[in-house]
Amino acid sequence: MIFQKRKWTSIMVIDATFWVAISFIIFIFGLIYLKIPQKINEVLGKLILDIKNEIDESEKLRSEAKVLLDNAQSKLDTAQKISNSILEQAKKDSDHLVIEMNEKFHKSSEVKKGLVENKISQMKEAAIKEIKDVSIKIAVDSVKKIISTSVDKSKLDNLFDKNLEETKTALKKINS
């Protein structure tokens, strides 16, 4: 009996380890039977494939973005060139316009200057004519006075000096 008792205890120790091993093997076979590793493999494969597709799509989007960036950059460069050419043309046009307006101003000034000079000469001629008319009138009046007074030479000289002074005064009034 002692022997049997020992046997039983050593079998029990072997039995507990044995049963853990057996239950582990059953568990593994159960997983295999239920195709859990295949399902896990399929799920992981699907995840890998999804990640790979996302990476491919992101690469495609990156290349499209690069193309769009290059297009936008070329459009920006073209717009910058056009803008510069427009600015240069506007500067040329404004310079040309300034020169043209300056020439027109000078021509207009010359025309106005000519008109003013003509007007001045006309006014000068009118003033000279008026002076002549006044001088003639004064001379005629003086002659009339001389004839009407027919006096001696000293009175005549005084009258002449007086008329000369009146003529000078009248001329000064006309000139101013």
53-69 confidence digits (pLDDT tens): 999 999 999 999 999 99
d(Cα 109, Cα 97) in Å, to the nearest integer?
A: 18
* C-beta separation of 159 from 138 below 8 A: no
150: DSSP letter: -
Please give the Cα distance from 56 to 64 (Å, whole number). 12
Output the pLDDT for position 11.
52
With contact defined as beta carbons under 8 Å apart, do 37 and 31 qualify? yes
Query: What is the average pLDDT across 41-54?
Result: 92
- List, in order, residues 6 or more apart from 142 with CB less than 8 Å away: 159, 160, 163
pTM of the full predicted structure? 0.40
Lowest mean per-residue pLDDT among 11-25, 38-52, 146-160: 146-160
Task: Provide the pLDDT for residue 50.
Answer: 93
C-alpha angle 15-16-20 in degrees, rounded to nearest 5 = 110
pLDDT of the residue at 47: 93
Report domain extents, the chain: 35-175
